[in-house]
Structure 1
């Protein structure tokens, strides 16, 4: 059976362009298990980096990594960053 391409109007409707926020780090993914988790983060400067607990991201320290979020601590306050919907 031959496959046909997607009609342009369908492709345009199904594809949405949206700018990524650059005002804060963006969590792209979490990988690993339990105590050995790491996260893939898009930093404010546009670079993507794999990080673990104790690493620094844009001046904040990674203090926790859950299945779908990471906690960054700066000046004694922690902020959770979750995977985008």
Structure 2
């Protein structure tokens, strides 16, 4: 029955929302020992990153189930799933 979703059901099950500007967290996967995150960069590229990865001048310092922490200049910023 794949592909036969009634239009009303598809419309009510789909939410359109713009992604935030800047770095956006798209998803998190992996294990507790090796968490990975999928992020969209300000230029639109999508990259997989891990703890220690550099994103411009910022560094990934933590990855949780639904957010990542970026460090820049001694302060940290959490980015959550939209």
- Shorter-chain TM-score range: 0.7 to 0.9
In structure 2, distance between residues paired with 1:52 and 1:14? 31
**Structure 2 match to 1:68:** 66
In structure 1, distance between residues paired with 2:49 and 2:12? 35
- Scaled by the length of structure 1, what TM-score is found? 0.76
State the structure with more CA Rg: 1
> Which sections of structure 2, spanning at least 5 residues, go unmatched?
none
- Scaled by the length of structure 2, what TM-score is found? 0.79
Task: Confirm or deny that 1:55 pairs with 2:40.
Answer: no
Q: Structure 1 residues 67 and 75 mapped into 2: Cα distance closer, same or farther (>3 Å)?
A: same
State the Cα distance separating 1:11 from its structure 2 match: 5.6
**Structure 1 match to 2:17:** 18
State the Cα distance separating 1:15 from its structure 2 match: 4.8
In structure 1, distance between residues paired with 2:34 and 2:13? 37
Give SS of 1:35's match: coil
Q: What are the residue-to-residue correspondences of 1:41-52 with 2, within 5 Å? A: 41-52=39-50
> Which sections of structure 1, spanning at least 5 residues, go unmatched?
none
